[in-house]
Structure 1
């Protein structure tokens, strides 16, 4: 981004700030732009008809978005300040890790920008849904979504499983340890996260050797792990992995349900629980 471009749009921003924005008399935004795949989906679920104008291009990608089909109904943005400026939103919603240059420039131009942090637990999903409801003036809708989530969690908790260890195993041997949204999902499903038991927190590395020695009851892999050759996925073809992860002990878990938090996140918990119920542990 050139300094000339920046100066031109800063001047335009001063003029823009002097114009009446599209928010209603009670402050409810009427033209909302989201520029992060996670805020995209949360906004799609909470916003009123015609309130959400644009979502990021990642929202239309079925490998990263649980609401990819729904996202095609919105104008797509690529997180560029110049394109969002021309959309004239009265509220921009971003993630805390969204391109800082764009976020900072939009703020300098006088746009209202709200940032939501990524969720590391279902409790944080609830909190972000409630915050989205307040931002969009849609608290009742947010309450309904939270209530539906709580009802589904209660249903999942009613199903009692034997004590089973589950390993989350991704490309390059990565896993999700304690303090992650996926770990919370595993617990809601009624399973124990192997990575947490091994002292791994956050996103960490789980060696193939450690996986084989632990011999978890169930292994969850991303559904894309076996599509196409890639050096990052070579562990999945290793004989040792095949031995510890036969088909009956492996469950495909789409990352689109776990990358971001939302009611759809509980689809992942249901997938894991159903796989555990079908599992013949031999114990």
Structure 2
């Protein structure tokens, strides 16, 4: 959503913000500007300190969507945030540096976690926001829990199954993508490796027919998660037959959004579903059950 403002509207909103009474709170008040930013806010902030979350905070791509129920939702632009006057505004892909400077002039600290190139960097972003909100201990505990589960998955027995990832649009994720990392962390063998796929791209129909996978991993198939046009490759009969004929695991979208921040949850979910569906030998299933108990 664009945040360009007319100077007059900005000045009026700023004046009203400065006239609002100061809120007595156990910690800094906070707002989330987009659904990825909401995850940091919902993970650590006291509910009474959250003045607003984005309109997508309860959507299928929001991992902590249940925590967002009943919270105020942002409906407008910067003027609304100036009226709410949170101490901290967390943003991810929405907003701009220019907007941050404008908020800073009226005492609102806008924070954008840096782009994370690794799972560890993702966890550090959460810990940094937790500290910013006065919950440093919770942030450190969050990091420790996720790192322990991450290492347990790395040490778990591999699952001898070829997996293909697909979205409703008929695209897949190859080497170098966070989704590929999830599939490997779950112990599966990505068929994208055999097909020589890197990054994101359309699933090759002919090759899938010749070398079908053992299991389909899908996401963003929930209602409202993504728009699929009549021209989408995902509507092809090959893809529909693939999902119908091959064991398929639909991972909740919230686990696959926001740059792989919840890749451990996604990998654990996949292993648990494979065990539930009886697709692996007993020894691997036992290992998967032990991992599920760590969640």
Q: Could you say whether these structures have the same fold, taking a TM-score greater than 0.5 normalized by the shorter chain as the test?
A: yes
Normalized against structure 1, the TM-score is what?
A: 0.79
CA–CA distance in 2 between the matches of 1:147 and 1:133?
14
Cα deviations by residue, 1:51-109 (Å, 9 ceiling, x for unpaired): 32211010112x221222210132111461111111111111101x2144xx6335224
Tell me, yes or no, if structure 1 residue 42 matches structure 2 residue 43.
Answer: no
| Gap runs ≥5 in structure 1 | none
CA distance in 1, matches of 2:3, 2:164: 47
Larger mean CA deviation between 115-124 and 209-218 belongs to 115-124
Q: 2:266 matched to which residue of 1?
A: 268
Cα offset, 1:226, TM superposition: 9.2
- 1:85-104 pair list within 5 angstroms: 85-95=82-92, 97-100=93-96, 104=98
* Superposed displacement of residue 15, structure 1: 8.9
How far 1:120 moved relative to its partner? 5.5
Q: Deviations over 1:184-224 (max 9, x none)?
A: 22121111333355443333222322333342221112362
Give the Cα–Cα distance (whole angstroms) in 1 for the partners of residues 76 and 190 of structure 2: 35
Name the SS of the counterpart of 2:213 in structure 1.
Answer: coil
| 1:122 aligns to 2:119 (yes or no) | yes
Q: With structure 2 as the length reference, what TM-score do the two structures score?
A: 0.76
Aligned position for 2:230: 231
Answering whether residue 139 of structure 2 is matched by residue 139 of structure 1, we say: no
Residue-pair matches, total: 273
The answer to whether the 8 A contact 1:121-1:184 is kept is: no
Does residue 167 (structure 1) correspond to residue 164 (structure 2)? The answer is yes
Decide whether aligned partners of structure 1 residues 43 and 262 sit closer, same or farther in structure 2, where only a CA change above 3 A counts.
Answer: farther
- Please name the residue that 2:63 is paired with: 66
Task: Supply the RMSD in Å over aligned alpha carbons.
Answer: 3.6
8 Å Cα contact 1:235-1:241 kept in structure 2: yes
